[in-house]
């Protein structure tokens, strides 16, 4: 009798263990909601942690200029014009167009509202980047990442002085594209410049965000915010941070940046668009700088630079990539498409002017 009871009990226990109790829990049960809530809280926590870490090194850049009032005479005007971030206790990175006025004085304002003087500005003549040397700087620093490892779809945060008024504003988005070539108007009164290999993001950027960091969820800078699209919403662009690493190295070595300069602004034409319009793929020249190598060689607006040294110019190999691989004084051969005709032009590259 005892053996029968034990056998029945054992069978009951076995049935109890094998029964799928999850079937009794509806899909919208409190257990699922708890799991979903935990996921959301984890994502929010990661974002908050990054913001708390990267915000202290982010600063506002202020331009000090002298204006003349008819009654009062010369007056000092201070305007918050952009953003920067500290890479060393006394070095701040920003955009070149933020500090383009060589006659102005600049200061930075920290997240603690402390004002510090800029005693030296080191500008890159090609990339829209600059380094500010800070007087008595003791700033917290931000970690630089590797922009070569950036992936489309990864989450990023943009931190900056939105509209020149709301310091340390944070927006969140993803990497929307990499390796973009754009022609951007830099600054309110700035000229249009061609920027290659930039990072596209849908993290909202505003005037005043220029020079601020684009960071990943490891709290590392992967880009420097530089421009926004005027024809679409939430289309912003950032310069790859690896360009900053090179700039810092040159600055520390007290090395003058010498870059080969062709002297054209352009828009890339994809092969698909070229086929559709009856053109050739390459770099469509939008402007030619006065006294530049391009002007001296006879390059004209609406020319399409199809090849450099016999190699195709395309989205994968934009014009800037070819120029960056050459030095000042190098002769290059360009294959130009002009009004349906192809021609070859020899150009001797000049040095980019330093502002």
> Which residue of the set 55, 194, 206, 210 is catalytic?
210
pLDDT (0 to 100) of residue 215: 96
Q: Tell me the average confidence (pLDDT) per consecutive run of 10 residues in the chain, 355 residues long.
A: 38 48 50 54 81 94 67 55 93 93 90 92 86 94 94 93 77 89 57 74 88 95 88 82 89 74 81 81 86 91 91 81 81 92 92 62
Whole-number Å distance between alpha carbons of 244 and 17: 61
Whole-number Å distance between alpha carbons of 220 and 97: 23
pLDDT (0 to 100) of residue 14: 47
pLDDT (0 to 100) of residue 240: 93
CATH dotted code for 144-242: 2.40.10.10
> Which residue of the set 60, 97, 100, 265 is catalytic?
97
Residue 28 corresponds to which tokens in the numbers above? 């919208």
165 contacts 208 by C-beta, under 8 angstroms:
yes
Q: Where are the domains of the chain?
A: 144-242, 260-351
326 catalytic residue (yes or no): no
pLDDT (0 to 100) of residue 39: 53
128 catalytic residue (yes or no): yes
Give the 3-state secondary structure of the chain: CHHHHHHHHHHHHHHHHHCCHHHHCCCCCHHHHHHHHHHHHHHHHHHHHHHHHHCCCEEEEEEEEEEEECCCEEEEEEEEEEEEEEEECCEEEECHHHHCCCCCEEEEECCCCCEEEEEEEEECCCCCCEEEEECCCCCCCCEECCHHHCCCCCEEEEEEEECCCEEEEEEEEEEEEEEEEEEEECCCCCCEEEEEEEEEECCCCCCCCCCCEEECCCCEEEEEEEEECCCCCCCEEEEECHHHHHHHHHHHCCCCCCCEECCEEEEEECHHHHHHHCCCCEEEEEEECCCCHHHHHCCCCCCEEEEECCEECCCCCCHHHHHHCCCCCCEEEEEEEECCEEEEEEEECEECCCC
CATH dotted code for 260-351: 2.30.42.10
pLDDT (0 to 100) of residue 273: 80
> Which residue of the set 128, 196, 202, 303 is catalytic?
128
pLDDT (0 to 100) of residue 3: 37
């Amino acid at each position: 009798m005892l053996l029968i009871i034990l056998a029945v009990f054992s069978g009951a226990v076995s049935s109890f263990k094998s029964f799928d109790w999850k079937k009794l829990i509806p899909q919208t049960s409190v257990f699922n909601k708890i799991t979903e809530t935990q996921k959301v809280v984890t994502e929010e926590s990661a974002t908050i942690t990054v913001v708390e870490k990267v915000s202290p090194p982010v600063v506002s850049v202020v331009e000090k200029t002298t204006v003349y009032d008819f009654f009062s005479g010369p007056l000092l005007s201070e305007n918050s014009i952009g953003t920067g971030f500290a890479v060393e206790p006394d070095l701040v990175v920003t955009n070149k167009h933020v500090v383009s006025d060589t006659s102005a004085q600049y200061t930075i304002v920290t997240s603690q509202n402390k004002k510090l003087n800029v005693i030296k500005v080191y500008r890159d003549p090609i990339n829209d980047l600059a380094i500010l040397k800070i007087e008595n700087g003791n700033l917290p620093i931000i970690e630089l990442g590797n922009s070569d490892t950036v992936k489309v779809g990864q989450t990023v945060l943009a931190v900056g002085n939105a509209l020149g008024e709301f310091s340390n504003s944070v927006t969140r988005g993803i990497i929307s594209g990499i390796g973009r070539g754009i022609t951007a108007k830099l600054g309110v009164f700035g000229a249009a410049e061609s920027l290659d290999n930039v990072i596209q993001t849908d993290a909202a950027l505003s005037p005043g965000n220029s020079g601020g960091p684009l960071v990943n969820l490891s709290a590392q800078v992967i880009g420097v915010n530089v421009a926004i699209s005027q024809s679409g919403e939430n289309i912003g662009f950032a310069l790859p941070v690896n360009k900053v690493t090179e700039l810092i190295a040159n600055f520390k070595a007290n090395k003058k940046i010498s870059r080969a300069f062709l002297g054209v602004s352009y828009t890339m034409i994809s092969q698909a668009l070229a086929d559709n319009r009856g053109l050739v793929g390459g770099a469509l020249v939008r402007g030619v700088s006065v006294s530049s190598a391009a002007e001296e060689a006879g390059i004209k607006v609406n020319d399409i630079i199809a090849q450099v040294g016999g190699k195709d110019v395309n989205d994968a190999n934009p014009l800037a990539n070819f120029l960056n691989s050459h030095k000042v004084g190098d002769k290059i051969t360009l294959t130009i498409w002009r009004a349906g005709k192809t021609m070859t032009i020899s150009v001797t590259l000049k040095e980019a002017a330093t502002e």
